[in-house]
Chains A and B, each alone.
Chain A
Amino acid sequence: EAQVTQNPRYLITVTGKKLTVTCSQNMNHEYMSWYRQDPGLGLRQIYYSMNVEVTDKGDVPEGYKVSRKEKRNFPLILESPSPNQTSLYFCASSNSGGRHSYEQYFGPGTRLTVT
């Protein structure tokens, strides 16, 4: 089954404690992306990757890191989480980003709470 998986689905942590949210896709997609969703602000792109070893900032990259060492995986790293990073996070993948905004497949989401 074609899918994007994220782990963990729920996470409560404390300020400053490094964490990683994993994302994996089994569709051999080149483009992967992380979004955060907050009430009233909609979905905002954090980072995206056009292919292995190619990553770039989205609209809200501050406080986040990513890596793309394998095509299927795109982990999101919070080196020193703060309460303003409490949010619902989605990973997505597609055949291509760019101007065509091809069909993206989204993961189930990770609800992060930073106290």
Chain B
Amino acid sequence: LAKTTQPISMDSYEGQEVNITCSHNNIATNDYITWYQQFPSQGPRFIIQGYKTKVTNEVASLFIPADRKSSTLSLPRVSLSDTAVYYCLVGARDDKIIFGKGTRLHILP
């Protein structure tokens, strides 16, 4: 099981680009990296998933270096509505899915 380490919290300002890095030193060859966003009292929402290099969708970009021991979620030009908890997930143990504590992102006006 690849344990993930993320910052507990981050602050940023509206209009800025925010980068949240997740460390996963023990990632296995077949593991994918998945990020979720969660607002208070709501279920997590899938943001992006990748295996290597760079993935981009309409919401975010995911950067994965060649060694895959870390990944960075990039949110362009954040707004107040991006204030949420962001979770990095890597692979699964057997068929279990493990969420870490996540990163609490606070966007300031």
**Known A42-B101, A44-B99: A101·B41 in contact at CB below 8 Å:** no
Alpha-carbon distance A22/B32, docked complex (angstroms) = 30
Number of interface residues of A (CB under 8 A): 30
* Given A106-B43, A106-B44, A108-B43, A101:B97 Cβ within 8 A: yes
How far is B43's CA from A105's CA once the two chains are assembled, in angstroms? 8
Give the interface size bracket for B toward A: 20 to 34
Question: Which residues of chain A in 49-107 are interfacial with respect to chain B, using CB atoms and an 8 Å cutoff?
Answer: 50, 56, 58-59, 88, 90, 92, 97-107
Majority secondary structure, B binding face:
loop
What does the 1/0 interface line of B1-36 toward A look like (CB < 8 Å)?
Answer: 000000000000000000000000000101110101
- The listed residue (B45, B90, B98) touching A59 by CB distance below 8 A is B98
Which of the residues A4, A88, A99 comes within 8 Å of B92, measured between beta carbons? A99
Q: Within the assembled complex, what's the spacing in Å between the Cα atoms of A35 and B98?
A: 10
Contact B96 A45, beta carbon cutoff 8 Å: yes
- A114 CB to nearest chain B CB (Å): 18
Give Cα distance in the complex from A59 to B97, angstroms: 9
Complex Cα–Cα for A43 and B30 (A): 24
B46 CB contacts on chain A under 8 angstroms? 103-105
A111 to B40 CA separation, bound complex (whole angstroms): 12
Q: Which of A97, A104, A109 has the most CB of B within 10 A?
A: A104
* Residues of chain B whose beta carbon lies under 8 Å from any beta carbon of chain A: 28, 30-32, 34, 36, 41-46, 49, 87, 89-92, 94-102
